[in-house]
């Protein structure tokens, strides 16, 4: 009898435990962000003890010299919420700020690292961001490759995109060398720039030629993205000691040599393009000027045309003479793009005056907005269809 009572008690306990788990699983689901039928988005965060909760996002209107934030409203069940305006098609990022502490949205698993910050992201389709989506089209291959830099005396990592059909084919492909900005690394164009999705979709639509894209790490003091090298798990910083010191430009030929040795590429000037954003635009300018017979296509996206940190480096000397040589040698496309409110707008305008004075032919695109990934994704989407024609 005692054994029977014990078994009944154990059974009841297990049943109660199972019911508790079941009830736990039935807690009210919090959806954030929620897509509303009118084109707005609602963000929610359960924070029972919070006194103030804000949302910070690139879809909000910012005030001068302050990050774009809005206060959220406390509702029932300790859930704070905020509903946006109608949002046009784009890839957006955001975070929550709870009593001054910035946190991620626990109900949104989609995250991207930007320098040393991690932000939530969401996509709004039915427009230009359709290019950023993974669609049911043939996909390219993305690989992480290490090459040995004799000049820097270390092995370094690249991200390489090969187009759909590359592995099964035998032909050669043109190459775009795609460079990141001061806060990025060899993962930036893949994560924040959606480069593989843009290339997959443009190639599938017949709007861009199949091409290899080599994405470099422009910080020569780092072998790879944070946590991906023998340097260990350090906190990444934006302004590394190597910024504008000439090393990236001086040893870029090693990257070209590695690519052409390990991939089936064309090896003529018109088989190569180079482009970059901000610091990468600065690098693209000087690399193409110092190797005037190497690239048939050059793209400067919001280029950081600033005084070099190491003016003594020969890579930065005699720019006018190098541009004259580049002009004389010839090229298919020299493309400059920048936003009207970009803090580098004046610098780019002065550079354009220099080119105009030299009768150096270039194409120019001026867009709305500033120094943002929204613009740089647009520029990549516009630039790649013009390549290798």
What are the C-alpha distances in Å from 221 to residues 57, 206, 252? 31, 39, 14
Q: What does the pLDDT read at residue 61?
A: 84
Residue range 215-259, pLDDT digits in tens: 999 999 999 999 999 999 988 888 898 888 999 999 999 999 999
* Start and end residues for every CATH 3.40.50.1820 domain found in the chain: 131-386
Q: What does the pLDDT read at residue 238?
A: 86
N-terminal to C-terminal alpha carbon distance within the chain = 89
Q: What does the pLDDT read at residue 309?
A: 59
Q: What does the pLDDT read at residue 149?
A: 97
CATH classification code of 131-386: 3.40.50.1820
**Cβ neighbour number for residue 85 with a 10 Å cutoff:** 11
361 Cβ partners below 8 Å, 6+ apart? 327, 334
Q: What does the pLDDT read at residue 114?
A: 84
Low-confidence ranges of the chain (pLDDT < 70): 1-27, 64-65, 308-312
- The residue length of the chain stands at 389
**Cβ neighbour number for residue 274 with a 10 Å cutoff:** 27
* Start and end residues for every CATH 2.60.40.10 domain found in the chain: 34-124
Q: What does the pLDDT read at residue 196?
A: 98
Q: What does the pLDDT read at residue 307?
A: 76
- Candidate CATH numbers 2.60.40.10, 3.60.21.10, 2.60.200.20, 1.10.3720.10; the one for domain 34-124: 2.60.40.10
Q: What does the pLDDT read at residue 8?
A: 39
């Amino acid at each position: 009898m005692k054994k029977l009572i014990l078994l009944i008690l154990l059974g009841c306990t297990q049943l109660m435990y199972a019911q508790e788990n079941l009830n736990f699983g039935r807690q009210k689901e919090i959806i954030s962000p929620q897509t509303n039928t009118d084109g707005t988005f609602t963000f929610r965060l359960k924070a029972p003890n919070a006194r103030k909760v804000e949302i910070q996002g690139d879809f909000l209107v910012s005030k001068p010299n302050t990050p774009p934030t809005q206060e959220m409203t406390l509702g029932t069940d300790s859930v704070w919420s905020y509903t946006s305006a109608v949002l046009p098609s784009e890839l957006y990022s955001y975070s929550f700020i709870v009593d001054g502490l910035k946190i991620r949205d626990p109900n949104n698993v989609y995250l991207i690292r930007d320098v040393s910050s991690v932000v939530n992201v969401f996509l709004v389709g039915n427009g230009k961001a359709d290019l950023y989506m993974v669609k049911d089209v043939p996909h390219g291959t993305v690989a992480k490759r290490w090459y040995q830099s004799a000049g820097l005396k270390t092995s370094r990592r690249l991200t390489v995109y090969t187009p759909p059909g590359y592995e099964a084919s035998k032909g050669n492909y043109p190459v775009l060398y795609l460079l990141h900005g001061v806060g990025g690394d060899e993962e930036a164009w893949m994560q924040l720039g959606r480069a593989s999705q843009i290339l997959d979709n443009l190639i599938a639509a017949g709007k861009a030629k199949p091409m290899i894209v080599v994405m470099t790490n422009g910080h020569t003091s780092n072998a790879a993205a944070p946590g991906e090298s023998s340097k260990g798990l350090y906190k990444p910083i934006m302004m590394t000691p190597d910024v504008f010191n000439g090393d990236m430009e001086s040893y870029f030929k090693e990257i070209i040599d590695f690519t052409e040795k390990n991939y089936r590429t064309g090896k003529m000037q018109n088989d190569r393009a180079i482009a970059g954003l901000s610091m990468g635009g600065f690098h693209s300018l000087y690399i193409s000027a110092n190797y005037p017979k190497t690239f048939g296509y050059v793209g400067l996206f919001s280029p950081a045309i600033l005084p070099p940190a190491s003016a003594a480096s020969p890579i930065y000397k005699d720019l006018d003479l190098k541009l004259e040589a580049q002009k004389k040698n010839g090229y298919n496309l020299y493309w400059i793009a920048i936003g009207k409110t970009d803090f580098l707008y004046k610098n780019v305008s002065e550079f354009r005056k220099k080119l105009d004075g030299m009768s150096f032919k270039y194409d120019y695109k001026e867009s709305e907005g500033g120094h943002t990934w929204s613009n740089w994704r647009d520029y990549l989407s516009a630039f790649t269809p013009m390549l290798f024609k």
